[in-house]
Amino acid sequence: MKKIVILTMLAVFLAATVSGQNRVLQEQNRRLEQEQNRRLEQGRREQQQAEQQSRQMEQQRLQREREAIELLRDLNTLEGLEREIMRNPQRMQSLRTNPTYLQFIMSLLSDSPELQQVLRDRLAALPPAESVPAPAAPARPAPARPDPVAATSTTSSSLDRLTGSVFLNAPITPKAGNTIRVATSNLGGTGDISYRWYRGDTVISGATEQRYTSTDDDAGHIIRVEVSRSGNSGTVSRALNNPVLPSSAPNITGSISIVGTLVEGQPLRADTSGLNGTGEISYRWERQTGPSTFSWLHSDNNSTYTPGSAQVGQRIRLSVTRAGYYGEIRFTTDTPVTAR
């Protein structure tokens, strides 16, 4: 009888010990699972943050390219040069202290030596500056239509792939007879630069210069340029946003306006009833970024736009083009957007 009692007590003790160990193991497993879940969640958050940062950097890069493209459109006249650079003291100082930026602007004016000399004279006349920050990207709006992204292609693994950006200086609605000029930014390598122009996917015979003057043969086609450099593999290319119009295409005429209340959250509408012609209309909404500069609002190609809190204190500008017509019509509000 005594043995039975002892064995029973021993069995109870062992059962309690095993049960306690099981509870300890369960608690350890629970904590391990929590730690694994925490690490997985942290990894997901870090991945989301990295992806968001990557998207933001890509958007900033595209915005800088769009602004640079828009800047090209108005630098080929003294009036445009005055408006965009010479009347902006900070940008003028940046040109003097940043050789890369100055070289880029000079390349835009490569076929206008007189404008290059005017700019040099203005820079030489500037007073000394103690410290000038690096220049911001030129704040100019971009075309409302999607902008083609520079493409590269590798032809030899033994050479460094050509990198950098290519821009085309041309009207937003190019017309036969317009001269299209190439400018490059941060182009890798040091070899000779070569150009090849395309009409759609067809190489334009004899077009191998930095500038190309369109003809009526280009009407209805997108003009594209490929830039290569000796000592590097691949090319960097850029295409116009819109097809070339024939030389007989009429200029866009008429008037437009913005209808609505300039208050945060209140929709604005483009009134194009005064615009002449019958072709499809494209819209570009812009916000004021300086005394005479505007930047694209990325509102797609819509006839309406609703300003947000970021636009409070800024004037709004609307630019429209019409299919089959040369040029664009603009309208700028007299007063800025106010908070609600």
Q: How confident is the model at residue 106 (pLDDT cuts 50, 70, 90)?
A: confident
**CA–CA separation, 324 and 321 (whole Å):** 9
What class is the 143-248 domain?
mainly beta
Burial of 123 (0-12, 13-18, 19+ CB in 10 A): middle
CATH number of 257-332: 2.60.40.2700
Render pLDDT for 217-271 as a digit per residue (tens, 0 to 9).
Answer: 999 999 999 999 999 988 998 899 889 999 999 999 999 999 999 999 999 999 9
Q: Which residues contact 150 (CB under 8 A, 6 or more apart)?
A: 65, 164, 165, 166, 236, 237, 238
Exposure string (b/e) for 191-221, b if CB count within 10 Å is 16 or more?
A: eeeebebbbeeeebeebeebebebeeebbeb
The rounded percent of the chain whose pLDDT value lies above 90 is: 36
Residue 263 pLDDT: 95
Mean pLDDT along residues 52-68: 72
Among the residue ranges 3-7, 51-55, 171-175, 225-229, the one predicted with the least confidence is: 3-7
Q: How confident is the model at residue 25 (pLDDT cuts 50, 70, 90)?
A: confident
Render pLDDT for 258-307 as a digit per residue (tens, 0 to 9).
Answer: 999 999 999 999 999 999 999 999 999 998 887 778 888 766 689 999 99
What's the predicted TM-score (pTM) here? Answer: 0.54
Q: Considering the chain, tell me which residue range(s) the CATH 2.60.40.2700 domain(s) occupy.
A: 143-248, 257-332
Residue 77 pLDDT: 55
